[in-house]
Structure 1
Amino acid sequence: MTASTDGNGGAAMPEIPAKQKATIYDQPGTVSTKVVELDVPEPGVGEVLINLTHSGVCHSDYGVMTNTWSSLPDPTPAGQVGGHEGVGKIVTLGPGTENSGLKIGDRVGIKWVSGICGNCEPCHAGADGICFNRKVSGYYTPGTFQQYTLGPANYVTPIPDGLASDEAAPMLCAGVTVYSALKRSNARPGQWVVISGAGGGLGHLAVQLASKGMGFRVIGIDHGCKEELVKASGAEHFVDITQFPRDDKGAAIAAHIKSLADGLGAHAVLVCTASNIAYAQAPLFLRFNGTLVCVGIPENAPQAIATAFPGRMISQQLTITGSAVGTRKEAIETLNFAARGIIKAHFRTEKMEALTGVFEEIGQGKLQGRVVLDLS
């Protein structure tokens, strides 16, 4: 593959190789990845080729790899390139991108929803994150655990100047997901918001956005080992989930949280963990007119929210809502928060070869914050 040009005949980027390094799910259904060599793809009509430098690692990738998300329609195929938080530079503009406003050398990002149709009802309603015909990065569409990937020119996300690529990567899923969820919570500045899973990849960003970006008062819930991270992220109170019984249907922890939130409970709860127990307890944390926002997708057999009894829902006028991955507009807004220093992912950097070990940490619930892969 020849070098790209800048549109004026001059070489703008190094020569594009024919082959690239990529990390695949070599044994879907298990925690296993493998670094392989793949062909560098050619962009089709409306596409751009991106030389990725960084990719975040998300709990969603774990669910896709292990086939533990019952909401996904089909098992993940062997050889799938995972990942959906990729950042890099455009190195080739495909046919039909002349009026896209993009140019070679632009830094852009690839999200969980890597492409949309633009024609379905959700797209028309400004809910492009749930486009009926969306392409999902890392699940049947090659993802971002590779050095080169394709993206639709009309849906890649611009990365603000001044925001480092490794810092931008987690914002493309974790950041925009919790930002969208906080908006759907209907909470107002000064009100109490509980973040369940507050020390995780989504949760610690939710705490920062809620407390520093949106003016909410935050109570973070997680394992005790994550207390320092949660408080540093801006939580007013931290609740160690391990200090409360699991066989009392959430009564003790609910009473404690209500005592922290004016004796009435929280105005909103975001469940950012994949725990069914967290979902069972969450409605008990709410005050009247409160909103529970479902963010984390539980793995294996789905369970109902066991405490969402109709009588309580009616008498307290509670709302339960789901929140997906946000829109392209919300992704841009989230990146701008990060560029201004309002939110910053707590992460460590690893190479592709370390990915299996990272997933093992995720599966054991030991990972604090995020991991970003250096794809060089």
Structure 2
Amino acid sequence: RALDARAAAHLTEAGEPEEAARRYRAAAAEAAAMGAYAQALSYGQKALALLDGMPPTPARRRLRIGALAGIGRVQWQAAGPDPAFTLAGALQVLDAARALLAQGDPPELHAELAALIASVCYDIGDMRSLERALDELTAASRLLLDAGDALGSARLLNDQAAVYVRMGDPVRATHLLTESRRVFEERARVDPVARVELAETDHLFARIPLHIAARPGRESDALSMGIDHALAAERTYKQLGDIRELARVWETIGRLELRKGRLDRATQRLTAALEAEEAHGDLIGLARSTAALAEVLSAKGLHREALAVLAESMAMNLEKGSPLGLAHNRRALNALVPNISLQGEEAEMLRKIAAQLAAAEATLGRIKLPGEPD
């Protein structure tokens, strides 16, 4: 990272701005991968500033798209010092990158942007955003197939499955995940990309019991199967050293353990997730793990602690601009209500948090989770 950034500075001085912009773009990608988001943003902005001073060419336009995509990714993934670091801010930058795409650009570039836009829409989570995510992924998948890149197209299967899980459609999700596993299983031994896809497939299979009710009498089996899938994903992410995804898997295991009633195990997993997400600056992950921890604390009868943790999660979801996160906070809060007496300090806390949640949902919009009554 430092080498690319230093080389970019020298190239700028030597009057080679295009190559300098390319090096800054590479330095930004590397910084983002290491969780150094402020640095990644700074390098991305330096690349854009250099490109601003040059006459446009197709190569420079594509370089600008890459720089904008990198900035959008950072604004989506990181907690930031300004309002641009919201899901809406990220989407704005990615839409600007998308507007620069031209007919002859590589299908992979179209697909990379589509997958990024879909990921942000997924985290926003209202039905219109989820439908947009599916449209983006379907169009990109078709483009890659037309270009003869069947493997590239298959890499979007998990993204599509994730959207269907969130929409509460297990049949389509399972069909896509089964297809993804078929494509990547045989390659996983030799291809690191296939191993990542396989881990993602396992993680999504693990999450299905959290979103969709199992058949009566099969609940415990479904949760056990979910944990097995999550443990398989955990092994791969550990080998790959992908802390961000590892923390997301720990959150999932924590939620599955909570459903199984194994509260100490759930606490252990969620605490590990929170520590990793905090170290990595993953605000959306933090908000989700904190909300799950609130449910565990409530199940342990620690209602005051649960309310305090839930308030933290709400604040993070509001800061990031995630109506989906707030909907999960609402579900957790509603589950707490019957356990709290109508008088006293806890009741006062509950009223205060309910008012804050209503205000936050009035700002970002209130969305319905699958299975919730209208």
TM-score by length of 2: 0.24
TM-score by length of 1: 0.24
Which one has a larger percent helix, Structure 1 or Structure 2?
A: 2
Which one has a larger percent strand, Structure 1 or Structure 2?
A: 1
